[in-house]
Structure 1
Amino acid sequence: MQVAAMGCELVDSRLLRTGRQITLQVFIDKEGGVDIDDCAAVSRQLSVWLDVENPIQGAYRLEVSSPGLDRPLTKAADYQRFLGSEAEVELHALLDGRRRWRGTLAAADEESVTLLTEAGERRFLYSAIHRAKLVPQW
């Protein structure tokens, strides 16, 4: 099942296990934002695909939603799209004694992202990033 065929972009997916409960979270987006109808349509189509392919053993709960204000940044195009926005980057390893960095997305190419932080400009290879997200502006 292709989310793109439904006019949406797959932002991220997560398989969470809490005790015996399994939850598949799917985050979608589209130009202008997603609404409840988009989430319901993707959920219906994804449910059919999951029933046929059966990639998850046992009972699980499916959640389809927008990525929210703290949208995960998962690919180079995400960083490029949100240049000028504030983001938080968590690295796999320490850099200058820190694992988390926060700043303005200043540049992004196919290999790395540059943040303008309180410590100056910092370049991070995507391979060094554990996770990244936008910081909501209230």
Structure 2
Amino acid sequence: MSKKVTEVVTELAQPIIEQLGLELVDVEYVKEGKDWFLRVFIDNESGIDLEQCAAVSERLSEILDEKDPIENLYFLDVSSPGAERPLKKEQDFLKAIGKQVNIKTYEPIQDEKKFEGKLISYSSEEVQLELTIKTRKKMITIPTQKIASARLAVTFF
């Protein structure tokens, strides 16, 4: 198969999810122990409920059975991305400006690979974070191509 499972599933899931007025956040295809899991994360402005997950799961299951793009047996799991939603697309980062985020990088920047701070700005080249170290605030710029993963951070006050 020339395309990755996640790419094929994204193409199949996108129209179903949009038809239901929802947003496709991410698709994961992972092996845990001896089992494979196909996870589809959906969201919308007001959050996701069980009925919406069930509707997507049912429709996506039908198409996956019909097209049969996955060789292995797998478990399909459709859910909300939760409070620590991943930031993958440009739109995700733009919506997160002003919010607390966690970013991991492929290589160290100023001797660190993990950052938590307020997302100040985003462009296709770089993100700017405001870090709080004890009582001091510090700005850091991270090139987007060095970002391994990014997600919203849950903060407790």
State the TM-score bracket (shorter-chain normalisation).
over 0.9
Q: 1:99-110 alignment to 2 at 5 Å?
A: 99-110=113-124
**Cα contact 1:83–1:107 (8 A) shared by 2:** yes
Q: Which consecutive aligned stretches of 4+ in structure 1 deviate over 6 angstroms post-superposition?
A: none
State how far apart, in whole Å, the 2-side matches of 1:127 and 1:5 are.
Answer: 32
Q: Normalised by the size of structure 1, how large is the TM-score?
A: 0.92
Q: 1:30-49 alignment to 2 at 5 Å?
A: 30-49=44-63
Deviation, structure 1 residue 17: 0.4
- RMSD (Å) for aligned C-alpha atoms: 1.4
Per the alignment, residue 125 of structure 1 pairs with 143
State the number of aligned residues.
138
Q: 1:1-138 alignment to 2 at 5 Å?
A: 1=12, 2=15, 3-118=17-132, 120-138=138-156
Letter in 2 for 1:131: S
Cα deviations across residues 91-112 of structure 1 (Å, max 9, x unaligned)?
A: 1111111111110011112333
| Larger Rg over CA atoms | 2
Q: What are the ranges of 5 or more consecutive residues in structure 2 without an aligned counterpart?
A: 1-11
**Cα contact 1:76–1:111 (8 A) shared by 2:** no
Deviation, structure 1 residue 48: 1.2
Between Structure 1 and Structure 2, which shows a larger proportion of helix residues? 2
